Chain A
């Protein structure tokens, strides 16, 4: 059956206006709901009236009408309907329902009417058109039109009552009576149809369509009965004293409701009718019958559709209890509690629920005012009433006036919503339940205060103001803890385990919030171990674990770690499938990682169930392995660790849905790892991955650190250029993408010191490339150089930005230098080409006024590497005249002399080596602008930061002296070169480290051989004390 209470399908048959009228039933006879919901009601009428014409070729009348109405062109719609028969191909049924469509259009226009007069006209016109249409009694839409007419008359009545017309009551009454007549006519029509069907004995199995039609008629029949009663009741309520002036109307209404409730109790309309029946009986002064009707209403099955009527009946019964002398507030409260404790989210704003809150508050206040009530109970009753009234005050409606009046009586300002008196720890709880209820309330209050603290901090409020709120927060939490402890001590055999656990869970949380960590750990741990598998147990356990974790910061790790591990493992094994339990494991893993226990961490990660939590740890682990790989000196170990890092990180990104800044960092590390094992394609794929790729995602998510973006673009650039080495790669496309990465890189260094940062970034980039080249095998190196060269040439052609040109030159130079075979001083072949291009770039750059200051230095260096020594020295001289203490330039200049000397004819060699040692190019003060290795070693000797430069200079002193001696064939000079080494070795036996020491040793042996001595070299490795002294 379609409209039986237990049928969910029936829901769809109840139209919105019917629902509204049902809601109105539960109000106190004021029609307030209908008035408040007037536009909604009209909108709902519109929905019902919309026909469902099948599409056909020809004039699209239905769609056009809809569009005209939607655009608010109601007058045009009426004009269109007037001439509809002139258009070809209009559906015949629509043509026959023009009056109904006009009524619809007028109803529609009521919503947009700007004045009362326009609205009245629209109402009249709509009703007129409906009446016209209803003359076609056999039209398929006649029943629909009749129902709408009745509803429109009801709405019109409500609208008239809401207006300020002089004879509003009279006009409204007439409208309600018209509606009653309309509904009566529907009832009679349907009664006839149903009777004829009853005689026909329809078998639903054989004739399902007819059976459905019968169900539909029955539903409409019942609804018309409800509406007919409602219309009479509404008409009666327009009299000042309905019992006296409208007895007939009330009696007629009662007949309808009685008939409905007695004969059709199995249907929603019948079951719901007990409530309006009771109301009418009440109005007629039949008190006992009213109580019986309301009680029978409450005895109806627990169905959603009956809840509003049940709430209405409850309110009426409560009011009757409270009207007794003395007021029976306990009975009233008992009646109301069923619904106040089970109000559903979708019911919170209903007028009936606000009325329920209001009458509940009145009951509490009656309790407060009773002589027999003890002071603590009075206090609690006041708090309850206040709470209910403040809640009701949140929603608009007719209840507001009474609500504010009651609040005012209690001394609460109508505008002061926050003034809710919370329970206190001094209130001795009567029972465990009472304690828990009060604690819940305090907890809610504490959450609100916590938000307040956060808001104040965000707004940079005064410290004392924040402290004041924090103080209240601490007090409230303290009270809640006290109440819960007292309550838990009252637990007995009747207490439900779930409720007791809820109290323990709340207590754990509050203790944790108050930093009472030991207590929190103990209570939460107890809860976890006594309630395995439950949600409360898990939450308690997690709080306990968090407390321990916080304690570890203060207490000895060794003492607490076993406890922490034990609890963590217990949670993970007791709730193995729960992602929250995986968090417990997470805490253990973090601890293991923080103590560098990588194997242990890896084992625990492996044991975790697959999912987001495990993946997040794999990402952390992968990054740590990458760092380890970078720090390892063992090539094989490095490779193994890099591969493991790639594996962990790749697995960690599987099924990642939400990307956080830390994930962008992890993705960058994965790309770096791919680059480290020469997988540029994979690196690009990671960086540009649509879900977690930082190139794309960094536009949506904050970068994890300030330096992240430049580093990202550096790596992207490297990866893209690396990809260019792939024979199948689309070089043009890659160059374009790499150029874009360059642009992004430049853009990432904006801001006040952008220029300086950009230069630093470019320097790092050049170093990255050099590192990449130095680590590559010869074949790979050649491929990389080729790729970088293509890219750099494109960049150089397309930019005039000095910083970029500088980088291009510098990278070319680095590549050129990297291409020179070890031991050679002058570039040849491809290296020479690269260096030439670099020096051309620097030369061009020198003309830029904003060229970086290091340009002459780099230019000089490229000249030296290309064998242009004289010109290189000119550059260094110019630079050092302006800035004599530029150590890098001094070293470069000394090296230039030294390397130049090696290429000169024998007769010039001696002087050239001397210049490398003693300097050259005297300045205006006759002192050499270029210092030479001698002065470099003197300047750097005392400064630890130049330690490497000092030993290098000392080495070159010895070398140049030795070569000078050989060039001029002077044994004394060669002898001197020997003492250059031995003297420094006596002072600094370590000689700047094993590598440098080896160089000294080799040179000394060479000198010794030249002098005809045994090539003994340096004394054996110095003892530890000497090393320490070094």
Chain B
């Protein structure tokens, strides 16, 4: 103990030197990978495939899809705060910050692209949550994809374009954008591409193709957290496809397996599972069971706007069907109030 106390001031001095010296001497950008610790270095090059960072004189490549965020030297405060708000899901607050930026005045091209991305992301997420215009969000995203085609955020924006097209009911466009994710460098994005396209196909009624593709994902051996999550989503999708393909038994079995290992903290996956259960029960003619399934999403896992909107729509129809028009009206009212942009 005595020894530790004695060396403490020296350690503090060293700490001060290591923290303050490099920042004063060289340009430093801070990259946060999806897995692992923050990496300090200088951006050497950026492409849609990813980012090359010079770290202690050596180049390191980070593929797109494996980076959570980059804090650039020279970031204005509004961008730093806007970025954090967006990554935290506070998109209205993010937009408030980001709109104060004069993009042209930003000191580096990578910073300009980053600021534009977060504006696009926030606008799209707001629109997807029913609190913004889908068309104008899609327009901004398309502008970004065109003007920043070498951004490491390119594929993220392609995914957003797919989401926006799907939400607007434009399946062909959605398939095109989701399909483009297959050329992304990270395996997770490739899986996402298959998952999203199959979900669009399912909504179009192409059950066979959807089932086949989803089955492919379910059969994958994956390790990363994001891949496991996508696999679970694919299982939920597959359960819907099976139910619609008159395979209710298999569908129920799959759903029950998922419920047994349900992680209530992952509300997006949980909502998809119960919506799948609702779809399966509807397909089996069990209206009461379907209502209870959608009520799980509505009452417990409503943070994912897309799933919640679906649950509310189905509840409105089902309650009408079982002779409870007042509850159906309540569901429609909530839909209009919470998701004005998506209630149509």
Contacts and interface: CB of A to CB of B under 8 A. Distances in A.
Q: Do A and B come from one complex?
A: yes
Interface of A: 55, 57-60, 63-64, 67-68, 71, 73, 76, 79-80, 83, 87-89, 732-733
A57 B261 contact: yes
Contact of B295 (A59, A60, A63, A68): A68
Contact of A732 (B105, B292, B295): B105
B135 interface: no
Contact of B296 (A57, A58, A64, A733): A64
Contacts of B233: none
B260 A88 contact: yes
Contacts of B259: 58-59, 87-89
Contacts of B296: 60, 64
B256 A76 contact: no
B288 interface: yes
Interface residues of B, number: 18
A83 B262 CA distance: 19
A78 to B, nearest CB: 11
A85 to B, nearest CB: 12
Given A88-B256, A732-B105, A60 B299 contact: no
B300 A60 contact: yes
B292 A79 contact: yes
Nearest to B286: A83
Nearest to A55: B264
16 contacts: A57-B261, A57-B262, A57-B263, A60-B300, A63-B264, A64-B296, A67-B299, A67-B300, A68-B299, A76-B291, A76-B295, A79-B292, A83-B292, A88-B260, A89-B259, A732-B105
The 8 tightest CB contacts between A and B, nearest first, are A67-B299, A88-B256, A88-B260, A89-B260, A88-B259, A58-B260, A80-B292, A59-B259
Contacts of A63: 264, 300
Contacts of A68: 295, 299
A75 to B, nearest CB: 9
A57 B263 CA distance: 7
B288 A79 contact: yes
B248 to A, nearest CB: 13
Contacts of A67: 299-300
A730 to B, nearest CB: 9
B126 to A, nearest CB: 26
Contacts of A55: 264
A79 B76 CA distance: 56
Contact of A71 (B76, B256, B299): B299
B107 to A, nearest CB: 9
B289 interface: yes
Nearest to A80: B292
Given A67-B300, A68-B295, A60 B288 contact: no
Given A57-B262, A83-B289, A89-B262, 4 more contacts: A55-B264, A57-B260, A68-B299, A76-B292
B282 to A, nearest CB: 16
Contacts of A58: 259-260, 262
A565 to B, nearest CB: 52
Interface string B292-332: 10011001100000000000000000000000000000000
Contacts of A732: 105
A732 B288 CA distance: 63
Main secondary structure of the interface of A (DSSP, over half): loop
A116 B194 CA distance: 57
Contacts of B263: 57
A65 to B, nearest CB: 10
Nearest to B296: A64
A733 B295 CA distance: 51
A69 to B, nearest CB: 10
Contacts of B257: 88
A267 to B, nearest CB: 43
Interface string B275-294: 00000000000001101100
A64 B260 CA distance: 15
Contacts of B289: 83
Contacts of B260: 57-58, 88-89
B256 to A, nearest CB: 4
Nearest to B252: A86
A73 B330 CA distance: 12
Given A68-B299, A88-B256, A89-B259, A60 B264 contact: yes
B156 to A, nearest CB: 29
Contacts of B76: 733
Nearest to B291: A76
A64 B277 CA distance: 15
B312 to A, nearest CB: 13
Nearest to A73: B295
A71 B296 CA distance: 12
Nearest to A75: B324
Given A68-B295, A73-B295, A59 B300 contact: no
Contacts of A88: 256-257, 259-260
A192 to B, nearest CB: 41
A220 B274 CA distance: 42
Contact of A60 (B256, B261, B262, B292): B262
A577 B263 CA distance: 58
A577 B310 CA distance: 66
Interface in B240-283: 256-257, 259-264
A813 B343 CA distance: 61
Nearest to A82: B288
B105 to A, nearest CB: 7
Interface string B65-92: 0000000000010000000000000000
A73 B263 CA distance: 25
B42 to A, nearest CB: 21
Contacts of A87: 256, 259
A514 B295 CA distance: 69
A83 B263 CA distance: 22
Nearest to B327: A73
Given A57-B261, A76-B295, A732-B105, A64 B300 contact: yes
Nearest to B76: A733
A76 B263 CA distance: 24
Nearest to B107: A732
A609 B74 CA distance: 47
B239 to A, nearest CB: 13
Contacts of B292: 76, 79-80, 83
Nearest to B100: A736
Contacts of A59: 259, 262
A83 B256 CA distance: 14
Contacts of B288: 79, 83
Contacts of B261: 57
Contacts of A79: 288, 292
Nearest to A90: B259
B52 to A, nearest CB: 29
A89 B296 CA distance: 15
B299 A64 contact: yes
A68 B298 CA distance: 10
A920 B264 CA distance: 93
A423 B295 CA distance: 66
A881 B299 CA distance: 81
A309 B93 CA distance: 57
A64 B264 CA distance: 11
A59 B258 CA distance: 10
B280 to A, nearest CB: 13
Nearest to A733: B76
A46 B306 CA distance: 35
Contacts of B291: 76
A1018 B257 CA distance: 112
B212 to A, nearest CB: 27
A548 B261 CA distance: 80
Contacts of A89: 259-260, 262
A109 to B, nearest CB: 15
A951 to B, nearest CB: 53
A55 B260 CA distance: 13
B325 to A, nearest CB: 15
A650 to B, nearest CB: 26
A63 B260 CA distance: 15
